[in-house]
Amino acid sequence: MRILVLANTPAHVHLYRHAVDRLERAGHDVLVLTREYACTTDLLDYFDMPYRVYGDHETEGYSKLGFARELGGQFLTIGAEAVRFNPDIVFGRGPYAAYAGTLTRTPVVLVLDDEPGDFNHTVSRPFADCIISPKVTRRDLGDAHYTFDGFKECAYLHPDVFEPNDDVREYLDVDPDEPYVLVRFNALDALHDADLEGFRPEQRRDLIKRLSEEATVFVSDEGDEMDLRELPARSYDLHPALIHDAMAEASLLVADTGTMVNEAALLGTPAFRYRGTDDHEYGEFRELERAGLAEQFDEYDAVHDRSLEILADDGANDRWQTRRREYTDDLVNLTDLLVDVARSRGELERLDRSTKRVLQPRSRSM
């Protein structure tokens, strides 16, 4: 069988990497179509995934006009590569996957989360044979929409899948008992991030200075804009494939972006998200807050005060790890589900009974 995967961001690479490995080892032919964006191709190389690049996307301010211009040229390459590969099934999200599947007359499986924008859903939904999302997603995308108990991050951070690298502290050059904090600053360059603002420059500097009084601070700056030379922090400079290992050992993650907060929470690391001007309510964050694994803040003073409080709490790590074990044990291993759906070519009636029980029609789960 020939399986085409559209992976446009680093998070998409992680979403599919275990499924791609298992499908290849089972003898299937897999191709990932991707773009040069942040560390996406670095991850594909690290995990030895078969891929071709269809375009690029810079981490800079975004607009609908810019997106349309970018999309036009990339569609030509995506179309040519999809036709050449001749897939039996297409995985992805948004217009990229919808276009590839329509052009090749191939079943399309969209794996979505609770992102705020309507554009991706509007243009891709009519072309999808199967839409899969976490149950916490609050949208109903029609008869083809099915949900599962978990998050898209369960494809690579579920306890049955994630194996931490015990050498990550050595790589980071921190002592075995040395507390450290990961701070993640968003580039806010995605279409659904247009006109949003996270930490302001002065808040970034103040946050780093305050956190450094309690722990070693590593900064992951998605937009690569910060000059850390005059600040008490170190740039996170390990290979991006090791970020989850670094998260798992951290005392705290603070960010104004979404995915890494979800990831840290599912690893049992206190995860704090500063909303900035983003007033969208995400089902994933709401659920992780309910589970006591993540916290969100509307005010800058509140997030830095809470960060200092948790760093001074010697029992915080044990509490979060206990919550993680109790919560994640009942979540779906999404890699297993993706592999089963691929083998069924997106025809859910062909799934075995155990997999069918995992997927619920969205209309029933609301």
pLDDT digits (tens, 9 = 90+) for 84-103: 999 999 999 988 999 999 99
Percentage of residues of the chain with pLDDT beyond 90: 75
Percentage of residues of the chain with pLDDT beyond 70: 90
Least confident of 58-67, 192-201, 214-223, 357-366: 58-67
Q: In which band, very low, low, confident or very high, does the pLDDT at 126 lie, cut at 50, 70 and 90?
A: confident
Q: Which residue has the tokens 């502290």?
A: 169
The predicted model scores a pTM of 0.91
pLDDT of residue 188: 53
pLDDT of residue 192: 44
> Could you give phi then psi for residue 245, rounded to 5 degrees?
-65, -40
pLDDT of residue 364: 66
pLDDT of residue 62: 53
CA distance 168 to 245: 6
- 126 close to 101: Cβ distance less than 8 angstroms: no
Quickly list H helices, 231-299. Answer: 243-249, 259-266, 283-290
pLDDT of residue 168: 97
* Strand 145-148 relative to strand 360-361, pairing: antiparallel
pLDDT tens track for 254-296: 999 889 999 999 999 999 999 887 777 788 999 999 999 999 9
Q: Roughly what angle, to the nearest 10 degrees, separates helices 64-85 and 94-104?
A: 30
pLDDT tens track for 23-75: 999 999 999 999 998 899 999 999 999 999 999 876 555 555 666 666 778 99
pLDDT at 325 over 70: yes
pLDDT of residue 80: 96
CA distance 87 to 105: 9
CA 187 to chain centre: 15
CA distance 356 to 43: 32
